[in-house]
Amino acid sequence: MTNSRPKIVVVGGGIGGLFAANALIAQGLTVSVYEQAPALGEIGAGVFLTPNSVRQLERVGLGPAVEKFGARVGPGSQYFRDDGTPIAPVQTADSSGWNATFGMHRADLVDMLASRLPAGVVHTGHRAIGFAQQDETARVTFANGATAQGDIVIAADGIHSEIRQFVVPPSQPVFSNSVAYRGTVPHELMPQWPTDRWLMWLGKGRHFLVFPLRAGKLINYVGFVPADAAMKESWSQPGDPDTLRAEFAGWDPRIGDLLGHVETTLKWALYDREPLPIWTKGRLTLLGDAAHPMLPHLGQGANQSIEDGMALATILGSVDNDAAPQALIAYENLRRERVAAVQRGARENGLRYDTFNRDDAKRDAEITAHALFRKKLYDHDVVPDAKAAAMGLG
What pLDDT, on a 0 to 100 scale, did the predictor assign at position 1?
39
* Ranges in the chain, pLDDT < 70: 1-3, 42-44, 229-236, 356-358, 394
CA 318 to chain centre: 26
What digits encode the pLDDT tens for the residues 254-306?
999 999 999 999 999 899 999 999 999 999 999 999 999 999 999 999 999 99
d(CA 150, CA 188): 49
Contacts of residue 285, Cβ cutoff 8 Å, sequence gap at least 6: 152, 153, 154, 155, 167, 279, 312, 328, 331, 332
Q: Which listed CATH number (3.20.20.70, 3.30.70.1450, 3.50.50.60, 3.30.420.40) goes with 7-172+273-391?
A: 3.50.50.60
Taking only the tens place, the pLDDT of each residue in 8-34 is 999 999 999 999 999 999 999 999 999
Question: What pLDDT is stored for residue 357 in this prediction?
Answer: 58
Q: How far apart are CA 217 and CA 128, in angstroms?
A: 37
Edge-to-edge strand list for the sheet holding 280-281: 122-123, 30-34, 7-11, 152-155, 284-286, 280-281
Q: C-alpha distances in angstroms, 97 versus 51, 197, 383? A: 10, 16, 20
Query: What is the side-by-side order of every strand in the sheet holding 46-49?
Result: 46-49, 102-105, 71-72
- Of the candidates 3, 51, 59, 30, the one whose C-alpha atom is nearest the C-alpha of residue 321 is 3
* Phi (first) and psi of residue 311, to 5 degrees: -60, -45
Q: Which helix (H) or strand (E) holds 80?
A: strand 78-81
Cβ 136 vs Cβ 151: under 8 Å: yes
